[in-house]
Structure 1
Amino acid sequence: MRFSGVSAIVFGCMVLVGCTSTGAGVDEILAKPSLETTSSIVKPGNVVPPGEIGTAASSEAQPEEMTALAPSAPIPDAMVPMARMPETRTPAAEPVALVVPSKPPARTFERGQVYRHRFRDAKPINFGRVSPRSLAVHGVDVSRWQGEIDWAKLRSQGANFVYIKATDGGDHLDPMFRKNWRQAGEAGLRRGAYHFFYWCRVASEQADWFIRNVPKVPGALPPVIDVEWNGESRCKQRLPRKKVLEKMQVFMDRLERHYGQRPIIYTAPDFYRDNLKGEFRDYPFWLRSVAAHPSKVYPGREWVFWQYSGSGLSHGVDGRIDLNAFHGTEDQWHRWVAANAR
């Protein structure tokens, strides 16, 4: 049978479609919730359906991605080549009258009201004289597991800032991120986004995924890389310390170049002990320590935020919520925001 030119093109397209099809059903192609959680959050029995966001496939590594962690892997993350811009020649400048540019106006931030925290705790801890209650500025961190949030009410209860889960790995977006991001901003909270790091995914891919989904907006807090061992992950591999540090550095460098802010490192005691003790002295830390003051759990480590509870209770949110405090006075908080927010 002879084909006309048009018929040949149509036939070629059909062949390509057939070759690329995986045979997966629609339900398998649509976004699936990530199985990852931070160490402080227990998944509730009745999960609120995803909000207005749909994503690509699950961010768990596929078999071919897992092999990239094998000893025979040819190129580590730190050696991923960066795209080079083509060379251009600058034309000769025309002589112009010398004009002294006016000094740009300094960036200013509204200090905003700091609300005294009124949170309760389902599992209260007696921290003694170093109680987080002695700190002036408290906040929360949230993800899809908190469901629908009354942000104005949550703020009035003492949530002066919030870190919102944005991404996992290289292809999962928290289905509540955009809604939480928008509504938290409308309610006047200082907001930032965090990324749950996967050890079975290339670091540069994870950074690009976070950048793709988290907007650059005035006043946003520095981005956070959440690094911890997670027993619920299907990625069970624990990398050597050297490899962990390399992957973190690749991710953080990309975010710092894009957002112009040095990322904050969130971690838990076991991961810190295995990988981070004595490392990244020039990075701010957000430390999980729900049974004792950070000075006892992370001796010698300076910190900006302390996650002191994973069982907080507050008006404005159903169920439990992570509670955090800023390391400083109210005035130090305003000065830190002015220096570090975009």
Structure 2
Amino acid sequence: MAKKQYRKTSRRRKKKKSGKSGRIYAVIGLLIAATTLALACIIFLRIWQRDLFHSFEQTPYSDKYFVRGVDVSHHNSFIDWNRLRKDNVSFAYLKSTEGVSHIDRDYIRNYRLAKEAGLKVGAYHFFRFRDEGKRQAEHFIKYAKVLPQDMIPAIDVEHSDVNVASGGRAKRGEVIAELKELEHSLFLYYGKHPVIYTNKDCYKKYIETDFSLNPIWICDLHDEPNVAAGNWVIWQFSHTGNIPGTVNDIDLNYYRYSFYEFRTLLMP
């Protein structure tokens, strides 16, 4: 009888242990589900915030940054520059060249029409990681229009499809070396350090430690740039601008300081 009683007690203990394990697995399952839901919410909020601002007035910064601008390339199709100027858009950076051979097909037209409408206009060059910096500078100098009171030339540094493909083969030091050649050549020719357009990732990887003299044009679609993240002067806050005078989405920008200080971005 004692032996049977012992076995019965053992069976009861096993059942109790199994129930405890089940509760542990249930808690773990709930934690995993909660974590997954939290991550999904974060991703949703990021996407929602990215597409939130389609105009200058939709942001909470419209009363803080008064100097407004756009940047365009041939992807932007028709633009009514006079309408943009009436809506207080003050400046425009226009893509002029890329690498050592590409010329934006709408650059000359956009340059003429934007200037006629009264905007301050600048040209930017899209930097290709694998092309020689000096040759890229020569290509920009040959085709870009940079006249007195135009904006300082700008260099676009980002991980585009072409740069992602080449970036896998190009070492960080090689990219920085060619960018230095491009920047230095433009500085020698124009007498002004070019503006550098970039995002937070590329800023940390290529710009932060080697280009302290260049005005920074930072892209951040989520947050107002941190003042510690470089000497930024222009903030690109939207890729999905939908403003009067445009047909397709257009990039929107704020200049950081006043209209008076904006003069520092102009050629003499």
For normalisation by structure 1, the TM-score amounts to 0.59
Q: What runs of 5+ residues in structure 2 fail to find an aligned partner? A: 1-49
User: Could you say which residue in structure 2 is the equivalent of 1:332?
Assistant: 261
Shift of 1:157: 1.6
Correspondence for 1:273 among 187, 204, 218 = 204
Q: Is the 8 A contact 2:93 2:124 kept in 1?
A: yes
Higher strand share: 2
Aligned AA for 1:314? I
Q: Is the 8 A contact 2:130 2:175 kept in 1?
A: no
Go from structure 1 to structure 2 and tell me whether the alpha carbon gap of 1:302 and 1:216 turns closer, same or farther (over 3 Å shift).
Answer: closer
1:70-149 matches, within 5 Å, as 123-124=52-53, 131=61, 133-149=63-79
User: Could you say which residue in structure 2 is the equivalent of 1:185?
Assistant: 115
User: Could you say which residue in structure 2 is the equivalent of 1:285?
Assistant: 216
Q: Find out whether 1:243 has 2:174 as its counterpart.
A: yes
1:222-261 matches, within 5 Å, as 222-231=152-161, 235-238=165-168, 239-261=170-192
Go from structure 1 to structure 2 and tell me whether the alpha carbon gap of 1:232 and 1:216 turns closer, same or farther (over 3 Å shift).
Answer: closer
Q: What runs of 5+ residues in structure 1 fail to find an aligned partner? A: 1-120
Aligned AA for 1:150? D
1:28-107 matches, within 5 Å, as none
Shift of 1:130: 6.8
Correspondence for 2:195 among 231, 244, 264 = 264
Go from structure 1 to structure 2 and tell me whether the alpha carbon gap of 1:150 and 1:210 turns closer, same or farther (over 3 Å shift).
Answer: same
Aligned AA for 1:273? K
User: Could you say which residue in structure 2 is the equivalent of 1:220?
Assistant: 150
Q: Find out whether 1:310 has 2:239 as its counterpart.
A: yes
Go from structure 1 to structure 2 and tell me whether the alpha carbon gap of 1:242 and 1:259 turns closer, same or farther (over 3 Å shift).
Answer: same
Taking only aligned residues, the RMSD between alpha carbons, in angstroms, comes to 2.3
Aligned AA for 1:250? E
Q: Is the 8 A contact 1:199 1:235 kept in 2?
A: no
Shift of 1:331: 2.8
Aligned AA for 1:283? N
Question: What do the CA deviations read for 1:60-84 (whole angstroms, capped 9, x no partner)?
Answer: xxxxxxxxxxxxxxxxxxxxxxxxx
- Aligned partners of 2:64, 2:185: CA distance in 1, in Å? 36
Shift of 1:247: 0.8
Q: Is the 8 A contact 1:141 1:322 kept in 2?
A: yes
Q: What secondary structure does 1:134 align onto?
A: coil
Number of residues of Structure 1 aligned to a counterpart in Structure 2: 215
- Aligned partners of 2:212, 2:251: CA distance in 1, in Å? 26
Aligned AA for 2:66? A
Shift of 1:254: 1.1
- Aligned partners of 1:162, 1:258: CA distance in 2, in Å? 22
Q: Is the 8 A contact 1:132 1:308 kept in 2?
A: no
User: Could you say which residue in structure 1 is the equivalent of 2:19?
Assistant: none
Max radius of gyration: which structure?
Answer: 2
Higher helix share: 2
1:13-24 matches, within 5 Å, as none
- Aligned partners of 1:213, 1:327: CA distance in 2, in Å? 29
Go from structure 1 to structure 2 and tell me whether the alpha carbon gap of 1:235 and 1:138 turns closer, same or farther (over 3 Å shift).
Answer: same
For normalisation by structure 2, the TM-score amounts to 0.74
User: Could you say which residue in structure 1 is the equivalent of 2:230?
Assistant: 301
Go from structure 1 to structure 2 and tell me whether the alpha carbon gap of 1:246 and 1:137 turns closer, same or farther (over 3 Å shift).
Answer: same
Q: Is the 8 A contact 1:196 1:227 kept in 2?
A: yes
Range 304-313 or range 225-234, more displaced: 225-234
Correspondence for 2:91 among 161, 165, 179 = 161
Q: Is the 8 A contact 2:193 2:213 kept in 1?
A: no
Shift of 1:131: 2.5
